[in-house]
Structure 1
Amino acid sequence: MPLPDEERAGERRPASRPDPRLCYRLVIEYDGSRYAGWQEQREARTVAGELRRALSEALADRELDLGGAGRTDAGVHALGQVAHLRTTARLDGETLRQRANDLLPSDICVLDAALAKPGFHARHDALARYYLYQIALRRMAFAKKYVWWVRDPLDVEKMRAAAAALRGFHDFTAFSQKGPADHSLTRDEAARVESKLVDVHELTISLRPGFIVTRIGASHFLWRMARRIVGALVAVGAGKLTVDDIRQALRDKQPSELIAQLTAPAAGLFLERVEYPGEPVARAAEDVPARLGIPAEREALIRERKPAPRRRPLRGPGGNKARM
């Protein structure tokens, strides 16, 4: 039986023709509340689907190629999602950005568009991804789509100890779930991005007025990994798990039903930024609460406000409560 061309000894596959299309790099922010995630789906509204629709119309190109650095889940937001765009259209980046934003819904915004090197791939070329998660310490009327309100008192120092146990190069099987297949990947690419061995090089917990902000930076993220890490940290802070429980979950290298039940809600999670070779490390200039119009000074006043003393109701003639 003859071998396929690529397996014949001494023969090379013919060189592929260079792609004549231009490659652009897009930086996008979006509110994921109304979308079934980033990845395009036939029967669901997604961020990538809306972006493709707007770009196809703006560029008069129905065959464009679009891919993102992170496949965020339903309800997850982004401050700095990165996407590659290959198109036959030839525009400067600023014109492309403006045309796309004119056609996008108000909860998706292209922050930047620029020509990239040929062959740039938003996902494959990424060195690291950084997520931010917001935990609210009080009930909020306006920010509920962007936070997880945790009612239990949280011991932040215990949470930080658990975070220290999770930092480093570990098997994160216990903190993940088998996700949908990505058919755009080759076998080698899939093995790399779906490897359970993950280098978590940043995991910090910061106190803000009214919030606890967790930042996670890693080589790659398994499906639901960021939310399960946050859920486990909260469980440690609430006294429902110990730091030793976290270490044991890492050692077991097995799916954990307990960790799965602790998965944090999607609403508080943001893809903050994506890091590429040769680029300076940069973080979003503002914390998310400020972007939501919640000044830290106002939040501090709310947290420090003492409850007003209860007053006796005014009584009218005959001892009945007076109606106002």
Structure 2
Amino acid sequence: MTGQALLEVEGLRIDLSVNGRRYPAVQDVSFSIRRGETFGLVGESGCGKSITALALIGLLRNPLSIGGGSIRFHGQELLDLSPGGMRKLRGSRISMIFQEPMTALNPLSPVGRQIAEMFVLHKGANWREAERQAVEALARVRVPAPERRVKDYPHQLSGGMRQRVMIAMALACGPDLLLADEPTTALDVTVQAEILDLIQELSAAQGTAVLMISHDLGLIANMCQNVGVMYAGRLIEQRAADSIFLTPRHPYTQGLVASLPLLGARSKFGRKKLKEIEGVVPPVVAFPPGCRFNPRCHAATDLCRAEDPVVTPLPESGLVRCHYHD
């Protein structure tokens, strides 16, 4: 990894418009990713991880919109780019593996043509050469009989195969920044390991920066150098991966780590019951006052219910948003 940040996100806000009112779906999110670094983003569904990634690649649609902040890529402010300028970056220098490939792929076009289009648009290849490269791209993600599969439509493929096609498209042009939103969904364990190895090889060989979004904390711990934990649209803890899972500082992070199953863990009554975080993530239109986690936090006080905690730098490097992080 080099010291210079490839991607810098500062004070990002994403607004949700409902009946003429604007609510902060994501607020005050800041992080950076260096070349060759894999940055993990974790949290429950509905915390704002996926829409943060969509904002980075310029794919937010109504009722979501950018409400403020800065997104710099190679020092260039992406929020100032025209739609045409963003299209030139998207797919070539910035790529995304979407969480649901069935909705991301064009159902009316063979998957091979969709991959080949990447080489035509961004590499200037003719269609014959692009189709040959599409076969090679499918082979790299371990699609069997890629020469035949390039002619298939998305509905003819299994969920795992569609996911591999999506990954092949994202990796086709060797992007500088890869946004991976649950990249191993619907893949079996063996193929999952192969895909993660492929992403790591790309990062090591080309210095590709990776934003890895996942619910799998084990995957994040193994793949990422730094980790950000999101809750209710905010980053509530951000630290090195080797410390955040060993000594989590925020009660929410502690709850996520405590909910992991431990091999061989048993109580005197047999299997040890997994811990859980009571309650659910609040909807965007009804975030509670004070700390947004306070209704679910076992350690919440009147201060937590009244005042929003500020971001506090940690001595061992990192950030936490909690009144009682010590």
TM-score band by shorter chain is: under 0.3
Determine which structure has more spread, i.e. the larger CA radius of gyration.
Answer: 1
- TM-score (normalizing by structure 2): 0.25
- TM-score (normalizing by structure 1): 0.25
Greater fraction helix: 2
